[in-house]
A and B are shown apart, each in its own frame.
Chain A
Amino acid sequence: MSKNTTSPTLSAQKSAVYYRLIRNLRRVTLYVLMILAVLWATLPLIWVFISSIRPDAETYAFHQTFFPQHPTFENYATLFRVTRFGLWMRNSAILSTATTLIVIALSAMAAYAMSRFRYRIFEVFGRMTLLAYMMPPIILVVPLFFILFKLHLTNSMIGLTLVYIGTRLPVGIWMLRSYFQGIPKELEDAAMVDGTTRFQAFYKVILPQAMPGMIATGIFVFSVTWQEFLFASILIFSATRTTLSAGVATFLSEDWIYSWGVLMAAGVMISLPLVLFYIFLQRYLIAGWGGGGLKG
């Protein structure tokens, strides 16, 4: 009798415990997996940073500790003192800023015109930019070299900036067009009824509305230009005019004496602006990347 009453409750209790155990086990597994994913993504970068503040003597030592015993910024000092890194950083900053500002200005105007007026030539241009957007840069680099040669713009930062602008514009236009399409036409109509010209309506009413899109596009264009290697390495051939990526790549050729600490310091310095942008302007960035500014 008693057997009949207790056994179902016992087994129910048992299965409840069992169920809770499974659930906890599942949650623990999920947390472990999450931590693993984060470590997988960040550990190499942490290692780069740690190695950049490790004195070379420790890097080359047979027995190594994970954290440097005598952390130092000596490698950074060497990087800026001995190599042309500072100059390249300045070059890259000028190039990327100029490219970004011009691309944003020109593609905002073009994207606005394309989103507000329907002329056949715009459609043709739209297709053209899509093709240009997909095109592998390696296809362009040899002919570009000869075009710049004819314009007397090889080995010149102006030439390289023009190339960057021309090849980044399609991305800028594609990203911004969707933003302008999302801004209601009535806004500028109202402004024009109030007596402004269409261009005034564009930059006083529409542009402020499109600001998040323009920031996202700007950061995107800046970051791809900041790290660009191919065009810079081929269109510029003097060490004083080159950019970060192309300059640091010369360290990797065999005749350069490796100091891993200095190289890691270079890695940190190149990544830093992009990481800071990401941390502080994350919400704009994600929106922009999702919105079509997708590049590899």
Chain B
Amino acid sequence: MTTTTRRLWSFIKARWSQNGSGRMARNDYRLAIMMISPAILLVLVFAMLPMLQGLYASFFQVESATLKMTFNGLDNYVWLLTKPLFWQSFWRSILWVVGTTVFQFVLGIGIALLLHQELKGRNIARGMVLFPYLIPAIVLSLTWRFILDPTMGIFNRMLMDFGLVSRPVAFLSKPHTALLFVIAAGIWKYTPFVVMMILARLQVIPLELEEAAKLDGASSWQLFRYITWPWLLPVVIVTLLLRTIWTFRQFDIVYLFSFGGPLFGTTTLPVLVRYLAFDAQQIGPAAATATAMLVMLLLMSWGYFVLYNRAEENLS
């Protein structure tokens, strides 16, 4: 930390003398540094430093009681890769990300196209459809736990009334159904976000294109396929990138739903990191899992940037 600050300081001094040609420029520079340094300091200490410490700790064996650190190279990573729990959590993460994002986009694009039609009351509908996005994770978890409750929940009451089940089902006590309903809750909460992004893009669609295509006698499917969809694609990709990243790192919803259980049934990678660090007292492997997540995130965003550039090129 001290060497970093010293280096930063000498760098600032060097820049200062370079810019010192005029009093104005020097004053500007001093002001700019003064304005930005509190933010830099706080981001360094509370975001960058912990990230680097996390990377660092992933190569050490950490005693959780004394915090004594012993270098053990790639042992944490090897330990992880040989643990079935890691791989199960990895695949659950994939399932959680793919399951929620695919349905978010199918529903979200559908609802956005619907609310783009000239319908009475569509402005109110647009406002109401966004409500799930406002609901905090803890409330989402309370809501779904209540709805799915075996004895009091409305879902089981309805299933019984329609004669679909003969006895109440404890959906959140079974690993597979628990994960299924976490995914359903994720879809419910974040579809509005997709609706919002797509609607914003639909509102600025160039009308000449649509008119020209209509004059040429394009069917509504052709209109969508050749005009609307290419226009939406860049936004779809950006939104997909954001949603994938945030779904992948999503901790609160998944964890609060049933605390990673039953039988690790809802343990995705972020929940696994928490479990390893605080319940299993395995800080080294926890740091290694976190680092693996970071690498996966960077790979994902790189992939999307390639896709995005291609979509933008096709549009022009």
List residues of chain A with CB under 8 Å of any chain B CB. 27, 30-31, 33-34, 37-38, 40-42, 44-45, 47-48, 51, 59-60, 64, 106-107, 109-110, 112-114, 116-117, 119-122, 125, 128-129, 131-132, 134-144, 146-147, 162-163, 165-167, 169-170, 173, 198-199, 223, 226-230, 234, 244-245, 248-249, 252, 260, 263-264, 266-267, 270-271, 274-275, 278, 282, 286, 289-290, 294-296
Contact = CB atoms under 8 A, between A and B. Distances in A.
A260 B249 CA distance: 30
Given A37-B115, A142-B286, A234-B274, 7 more contacts: A48-B143, A110-B35, A128-B43, A132-B43, A132-B47, A147-B50, A147-B53
A37 B287 contact: no
B32 interface: yes
B146 A263 contact: yes
Contacts of B179: none
B247 A296 contact: yes
B93 to A, nearest CB: 11
B47 A170 contact: yes
Nearest to A251: B142
A176 to B, nearest CB: 11
Interface residues of B, number: 92
13 contacts: A31-B119, A34-B121, A48-B139, A110-B36, A110-B38, A135-B51, A136-B248, A138-B251, A138-B293, A143-B53, A252-B259, A267-B142, A290-B197
With a 10 A CB-CB cut-off, give which of A140, A234, A286 has the most chain B CB atoms: A140
A142 B54 contact: yes
A-side interface mostly: helix
Given A113-B32, A230-B252, A274 B46 contact: no
Among all A-B residue pairs, the 7 with the closest Cβ atoms: A166-B46, A296-B246, A227-B136, A136-B249, A143-B50, A110-B39, A143-B53
B280 interface: no
B202 interface: no
Contact of A294 (B111, B138, B193, B273): B193
Contacts of B42: 106, 162, 165-166, 169
Nearest to B117: A30
B226 to A, nearest CB: 21
B129 A229 contact: no
B171 to A, nearest CB: 15
B241 to A, nearest CB: 10
A140 B50 CA distance: 5
Interface in B226-247: 242-243, 245-247
